[in-house]
Amino acid sequence: MANGNGQARTPYAEVLAVLSRHRGVLGSFVVSERDGLAVDSNVQIGVHAEAVAALAASLHRKARLACGAAGCGTVTFLRLDAERGGICAAARDDLVLITISEARANIGLLRVEMMRAVKALT
């Protein structure tokens, strides 16, 4: 089975579709933290998916390493805010679930959904 981009459908397609239906969400990805490559994505046209996925994965990796050094424990959720939106990330093992959203998104609801969805990442 293939998604809209002609790529093979992955086990994460449904999770990503649900996240992308939230108000103000521009796209969602599953990314490998180790190499920054997108495993699957569901993004609106115009979003630079691959570059953003790599940068978000790198940010998550830095946050994880810094938290490890500081004795904060495992990172459960990361949120990067900007003037007109932001990025949220939650990880399980090497996989990072990422959403990109506009300022009008309900971050609280999105966070709950992502925390639930990330448990399904394997």
Residues of this chain that bind other proteins (CB under 8 A): 26, 47-48, 51-52, 55-56, 58-59, 62-63, 65-87, 100, 102
Q: Which helix (H) or strand (E) holds 120?
A: none
Phi, psi at residue 43, to the nearest 5°? -130, 155
Measured from the CB atom, the residue of 5 and 77 that comes closer to other proteins is: 77
For residue 117, the minimal CB distance to other proteins (Å) is 16
Query: Which residues are bridge partners to 87 per DSSP?
Result: 80, 100
- Separation of alpha carbons 11 and 97, rounded Å: 13
**Both tokens of residue 76?**
């459960």
Contact 38, 44 (CB under 8 A): no
Measured from the CB atom, the residue of 81 and 93 that comes closer to other proteins is: 81
Measured from the CB atom, the residue of 10 and 94 that comes closer to other proteins is: 94
- Separation of alpha carbons 56 and 116, rounded Å: 20
For residue 75, the minimal CB distance to other proteins (Å) is 5
Measured from the CB atom, the residue of 37 and 66 that comes closer to other proteins is: 66
